[in-house]
Structure 1
C-alpha cells in the first residue's frame, strides 16, 4: 500500500507543477468589461477560441484542476 501511495504522491506533484505552468501561460481576460463598454463585437477569433491553442489550455486546466481535487481527497484518506 505504501508503494501505491508513493506513486499517487508523485503523480500529484507532477499535476501541481503542470497546473502551475499552464495557469501562468494563460492570457488575461482584459477584454471582459472594457470590451462590453466600448461595444466590442464578436469576431472569428472570439467565436472559435475553444478550438485554438488557448482553448486547449483552458480545457486542460479544467481537467488538471479536477484531477488535483480528486487526488487531494484520495491522499487525505487514511489508508
Structure 2
C-alpha cells in the first residue's frame, strides 16, 4: 500500500507541476493599466467556462489530493 501511495504521489506531483506551468499569468501588465482592464470583454464575463478556469480547478483538486496522500502516508508509517 505504501509503494502505491508513493507512486501515486509522484504522478500527482508531476501533473500538478505541469498544470501550474501551463497556466497564464494573472496580471495584465501595463496594457491593463492603460486600457482600464478587461472588465467589459466577452472573455471576462464568461471566464468560468474557459480553459483557464478548468486549469485552476484542476490545480486545486490535484493540490488537495497531494495533501491528502501526504497525510495518509504519514499515518501509515
Instruction: Name the TM-score class by shorter chain.
Output: 0.7 to 0.9
| Alpha-carbon shift at residue 17 of structure 1 (Å) | 0.1
Residue-by-residue CA offset, 1:1-57 (whole Å, 9 max, x unaligned): xxx111111110000000000000000011289736752242110121221111111
Q: How many residues were matched structurally?
A: 76
Indicate the larger mover: 27-36 or 49-58: 27-36
**Alignment-derived partner of residue 61 in structure 1:** 59
Q: Which has the higher contact order (CA 8 A, sep 6+)?
A: 1
| Alpha-carbon shift at residue 73 of structure 1 (Å) | 1.1
Unaligned runs of 5+ in 2: none
The normalised TM-score by structure 1 is 0.80
The normalised TM-score by structure 2 is 0.82
Query: Equivalent of 2:7, from 10, 20, 32?
Result: 10
**Alignment-derived partner of residue 35 in structure 1:** 32
Root mean square deviation, CA, Å: 2.1
Unaligned runs of 5+ in 1: none
